[in-house]
Structure 1
């Protein structure tokens, strides 16, 4: 059976460098990688990492040709895994799908059943990708904050207008927390308030290296989707016994800080890795998402595109020009 896929190819350039190009191609099942479950993919998403892969940045992909898309949702077509049967609606995030294993930018995918989660009854495949890797990561971060401690003051969300940040604002607000949203785009203020933010903070306030190891106790927690100087600034302004869940590196993977916030204020720095997350916490996170997410509000933050739009959108997400969630209808 032939089906469409967005195939990435690496090619030599005249200057000796290598570039990645994308083309819509017809392929068949014989070309899919090994796995014990085959899924008819309905939706995928465009994340920051997808933008890097589409642009050949960071050598996240080593073997070409390649099919990107770091997550997808669809319906099981065939399975040699007793946990899944044809007709089951499933979602996949993580496990380096779209990097070392072909991902969601194709109408069919073959993967290990260990990587899949059966969707809760109330979550459609479209809902699953409006949530996507970004929302799943946000849920893990919110759960980590609640488990390890939220202090006094609002919970700060950095990179709030992006995919992870947008869903984090909504989830934290839905769970009853006051949320302060940090963004460099003032035009998104109404959008963020609609998601549940009670305060909008200019990204510039957190963009300069902190002058002191401790500032005022401004925030009771933080979901940091940026990293770098932004994370260092947030740490100096956390209240006693608060937690910071860090899950992004767009601002760099360096961290110029001191032990002072951890020793004198008992701040917890929590690393969130949604890639290799074991099955039990993955399934629990999707159940909690089913309970908390407002489907209509979630749909309002999503833009739906087709496979043919991704080559153009990749550079835009890297430049911070994409708001909210970008859902890819692989059948369109």
Structure 2
């Protein structure tokens, strides 16, 4: 007999709009998988906000429970990979996209998706970091892999989940991160989490109509795509590198080949959804150690399932900053 639990479920309304509400469900309704997890914390990511608002590019079928991150305790494991009571996390793969996600008190997933709770992190801290932090860590690792050590690194979307954690990681690695933002009023917040300097989005992209811009940055981390990524690539110094992980502004890239063939700039594509397990474990180990974001509590707001609607709207309208964890 299944276990009853609460979940935030998004459904399509008769007029074609979408809305979410807290619904009673049963573990019998969950898909097949080797590991049943009692979720204690989840987090809100941009992809969750899209899923919760009916974006068919993220979630194909509704009703649906979003939540691409989850931390909790193993309730049952059928293949021996984990024991009952083990503290674990799940991020990425199909969780919260077309598989019921962390905005429910239980999830059932394949054991290959599950990692032990990283050393040095509580369950809440792991979700304060979440997919956004994992992505930021992979972006930073990409720059290090290309040989970058120190220097100025531009970070777009700096007040968001990926950007804010990236600033902290880069500062910990001895870089001088520059926060690119359209929210100048949040400069004190950005500096408190690691930004060495702050530049407005308008100033960052000024002159982007040119084939190349003045070389300003040793490297960059971009979450926006579109003209923001093009401007970054055009203004990176010779031999620099840019990690690209998002398309919040646009999936298009209005660019010529000049940055690549005249300045030797490298563009690194970052994906945290299907990232191999060994790379995940390495990144999470760092996130629980040297790369654990400074001021993580100050970076994080907490809500419950009842407060999700407000947080989702804030994220979709660009009013969110830092990270939001959901306590279940």
TM bin, normalised by shorter chain, reads over 0.9
Partner of 2:4: 2
Cα distance, 1:294 vs structure 2: 4.3
Cα distance, 1:108 vs structure 2: 0.8
Tell me the distance in 2 between the aligned counterparts of 1:128 and 1:176. 23
**Is 1:41 equivalent to 2:43 in the alignment?**
no
Partner of 1:314: 312
Tell me the distance in 2 between the aligned counterparts of 1:274 and 1:218. 28
Partner of 1:157: 155
Equivalent of 1:198 in 178, 196, 199: 196
Partner of 1:271: 269
Cα distance, 1:151 vs structure 2: 7.2
TM-score (norm 1): 0.95
Cα distance, 1:295 vs structure 2: 6.0
Tell me the distance in 2 between the aligned counterparts of 1:120 and 1:19. 39
Equivalent of 1:54 in 16, 28, 52: 52
Q: Alignment partner of 1:253: what SS?
A: coil
Distance 1:208 1:319, change over 3 A: farther
**Root-mean-square deviation (Å):** 1.5
Q: Alignment partner of 2:17: what SS?
A: strand
Tell me the distance in 2 between the aligned counterparts of 1:167 and 1:296. 9
Report matched runs for 1:296-315 at 5 Å: 297-315=295-313
Tell me the distance in 2 between the aligned counterparts of 1:111 and 1:246. 28
Equivalent of 1:167 in 165, 168, 177: 165
Cα distance, 1:208 vs structure 2: 5.3
Tell me the distance in 1 between the aligned counterparts of 2:20 and 2:38. 21
Tell me the distance in 1 between the aligned counterparts of 2:168 and 2:268. 20
Alignment check: 8 A CA contact 2:119 2:285 kept = no
Q: After alignment, is 167-176 or 86-95 more displaced?
A: 86-95
Partner of 1:185: 183
C-alpha distance after superposition, 1:203-243 (max 9, x if no partner): 11234571222222210110101111000000111011111
Q: Alignment partner of 1:220: what SS?
A: strand
Report matched runs for 1:126-137 at 5 Å: 126-137=124-135
Alignment check: 8 A CA contact 2:157 2:224 kept = yes
Tell me the distance in 1 between the aligned counterparts of 2:231 and 2:57. 30
Cα distance, 1:119 vs structure 2: 1.7
Tell me the distance in 2 between the aligned counterparts of 1:295 and 1:157. 16
Cα distance, 1:58 vs structure 2: 4.2
**Is 1:241 equivalent to 2:239 in the alignment?**
yes
Cα distance, 1:57 vs structure 2: 2.7
Partner of 1:11: 13
Structure 2 residues not aligned, in runs of 5+:
none
Q: After alignment, is 258-267 or 78-87 more displaced?
A: 78-87
**Is 1:212 equivalent to 2:214 in the alignment?**
no
Equivalent of 1:227 in 225, 228, 242: 225
Partner of 1:120: 118
Q: Alignment partner of 1:61: what SS?
A: coil
Report how many residues are paired.
326
Cα distance, 1:81 vs structure 2: 3.0
Cα distance, 1:59 vs structure 2: 3.9
Partner of 2:105: 107
Tell me the distance in 1 between the aligned counterparts of 2:210 and 2:293. 42
Cα distance, 1:97 vs structure 2: 1.0
Alignment check: 8 A CA contact 2:10 2:53 kept = no
Q: Alignment partner of 2:93: what SS?
A: coil
